[in-house]
Amino acid sequence: MHDAISNHQDGEKSYEQKTAWVYLLNLGFYFIPLFFMQDQWLKITIALVLLIPFIWGYFWAYSSNADNAIYPISLMLACAIIGTPFTSGTISLFSFVCFFIGFFYPLKNTIISFICICILLFALNSVVDTVGYYFAFYGIGISLGVGVFGIIEQNRQRIIRQQKRSQDEITNLATALERERIARDLHDIMGHNLSSIALKAELASKLLVANQAEQAQIQLNQLSDIARESLSQIRQTVSNFKHKGLNACLPALSQSLRDKGMEVIIEGETPLLTELAESQLTLILTELFNNCLKHSAADRVRLTFSDEPTQISINFTQNTRVINVTEGNGLKGIRERIALLSGSIKYQCSPQFSLTIDLPNQLNQLNQLNQLNQQDG
């Protein structure tokens, strides 16, 4: 708690410091009693001079954290106490003090400090030229009211920092997982293709030694094709690191099947997903569409999205049966990506091939969690 209060986000802190002078407009209430002090120039002068260290302490407090805020708050409180015998307008100074106490410190410490200030205001009431306990009661009401705003602002800043940290963690995790995916895919691609290149090069070398130039040329041409295909696969793998999004990729995937003469039907609205979930689902659908393009004899493919409050379902169906499904790198990779999203996968081969992916509705859950946090705050 203490650390959370003392560590402000740089951008937010810079903005607050730039706009800090705006809140000083509340000092207008400090000047009101001075207008009614006729021929009391000494008191007026002292009251105005005290504003100099008070305003300095105010900006000092804005650039402080919970560890050293006690110093500017003490300076501001001292100015308010010293100025009280000269003007009742110091009520506004006490309100600034209460705001910073509420903003910087835990609730228990804040309540104790507020009680002390209430006692102090009652004690100072006797040196103020007001009727009855006007200064004490009015000062307590204003100071505690502004202090509550300080507590609210502290909670708001804490929620913002928590959300920022959560988003940073999600982004870092997504980046790390995507790098692992690229490394895994590159390993699979290059492991197979480099073996083929080495084999073709070795065979071409032996054919040249045997003076079989035409056969060697065939092997070299095949080697060149493998190298170009490897380069294309590497570029595709790396380019997926910054995917265009599910809505941008679906038309291209669908068109690739339509070019082969297949009918593609997409039902339901594409769900709202986290960045990690969208990137992984895009890669999963790319794998499914590519497998269908290369190996399927189907003439119709149906992709259905179902968005429920707690779960998102994606069903991929082609109107032909699959005799046997070998869980090679493709399906294995799909399982790994779904596992990253805490989802599940199930499929059937007949009477037609159908694969269903169930994912938790993370965005909806995050929104509900944020609402609960705000209610608790």
The dihedral region occupied by 133, where left means phi > 0, alpha psi between -120 and 50, and beta the remainder, is alpha
Tokens 């082969």 belong to 260
The range of the structural domain enclosing residue 258 comes to: 243-377
Same domain, 248 and 377: yes
pLDDT in tens, 172-186: 777 777 777 677 666
Question: What are the tens digits of pLDDT across the range 302-346?
Answer: 999 998 888 999 999 998 877 666 666 567 778 888 988 889 999
Query: Can you give the pLDDT at residue 191?
Result: 61
| 254 domain residue, yes or no | yes
The answer to whether residues 155 and 304 belong to one domain is: no
pLDDT for res 375 = 59
Given its phi and psi angles, is residue 87 left (phi above 0), alpha (psi -120 to 50 degrees) or beta? beta
- Residue 248 and residue 156 share a domain: no
Band the pLDDT of 365: cuts 50, 70, 90: low
**Is residue 71 a part of any domain in this protein?**
yes
pLDDT at 264: 92
Ordered alpha helix ranges (H), the chain: 2-6, 10-18, 20-23, 28-35, 41-62, 70-83, 91-104, 107-124, 134-209, 213-239, 246-258, 275-295, 329-340, 362-376
* Residue 53 pLDDT class (50, 70, 90 cuts): very high
In a domain, 279, yes or no: yes
Domain limit, last residue, from 168, 191, 224: 168
H/E segment holding residue 348: strand 344-348
- Four-residue CA torsion sign, 19, 22, 26, 32: positive
Q: Is residue 203, in this structure, part of any structural domain at all?
A: no
The angle at the Cα of 196, spanning 191 to 198, to the nearest 5 degrees, equals 95
Q: Are residues 159 and 12 in the same domain?
A: yes
pLDDT at 74: 93
Looking at the fold, whether 377 and 286 belong to one and the same domain comes out as: yes
CB 250 within 8 A of CB 291: no
pLDDT of residue 306: 92
Question: Using one digit for the tens of pLDDT, what is the confidence trace for 260-304?
Answer: 788 999 999 888 888 878 878 888 888 888 778 777 888 899 999
In a domain, 283, yes or no: yes
Q: Is residue 18 part of a domain?
A: yes
Of 121, 152, 168, the residue that ends a domain is 168
Q: Is the pLDDT of residue 195 over 80?
A: no
Which one-letter amino acid corresponds to residue 127?
A: V
Total number of residues shown for the chain = 377
- Among 168, 191, 225, which residue terminates a domain? 168
Residue 345, helix vs strand vs coil: strand
More confident residue, 276 or 251: 251
Which residues, 6 or more positions from 200, have their beta carbon under 8 angstroms from its beta carbon?
219, 220, 222, 223, 226
Q: What is the pLDDT of residues 83-99, one digit of tens each?
A: 888 888 888 899 999 99
Distances (CA, A) of 39 to 45, 47, 51, 88, 127: 11, 14, 20, 17, 19
> Do 273 and 142 fall into the same domain?
no
- The residue-averaged pLDDT of 132-145 equals 85
Residue 5's pLDDT band, with cuts at 50, 70 and 90, is: very low
pLDDT, the chain, mean: 80
Section 80-84 average pLDDT: 90
Query: Assign residue 39 a region: left if phi > 0, alpha if psi is -120 to 50, beta otherwise?
Result: left
Task: Give yes or no: residues 263 and 371 share one domain.
Answer: yes
Measuring CA to CA, how many Å separate 337 from each of 102, 332, 358?
46, 9, 12
**Which of the pair, 242 or 149, is modelled with greater confidence?**
149
Work out whether strand 263-267 and strand 300-307 pair parallel, antiparallel, or are unpaired.
Answer: parallel
Q: Are residues 141 and 256 in the same domain?
A: no
Q: Which amino acid is at 51?
A: L
Specify if 215 maps to a domain. no
Phi-psi region of 328 (alpha: psi -120 to 50; beta: other; left: phi over 0): beta
Query: pLDDT category, 78, cuts 50, 70, 90?
Result: very high
The predicted model scores a pTM of 0.47
Most confident of 15-29, 131-145, 295-309, 328-342: 295-309
Higher pLDDT, residue 193 or 41: 41
Instruction: Looking at the structure, tell me whether residues 18 and 131 fall in a common domain.
Output: yes
| pLDDT (0 to 100) of residue 44 | 86
* Residue 185 in domain: no
Q: 270 and 374, same structural domain?
A: yes
**Based on the domain organization, do 7 and 103 belong to the same domain?**
yes
Taking the CB of residue 117, how many other CB atoms lie within 10 A of it?
Answer: 22
Q: How many CA within 13 A on the CB side of residue 176?
A: 7
Q: How many structural domains does the chain have?
A: 2
Residue 3 has pLDDT above 60, yes or no: no
Looking at the chain, the whole-number percentage of residues with pLDDT higher than 90 is 18
Report the CATH number at residue 304.
Answer: 3.30.565.10
Q: Are residues 29 and 132 in the same domain?
A: yes
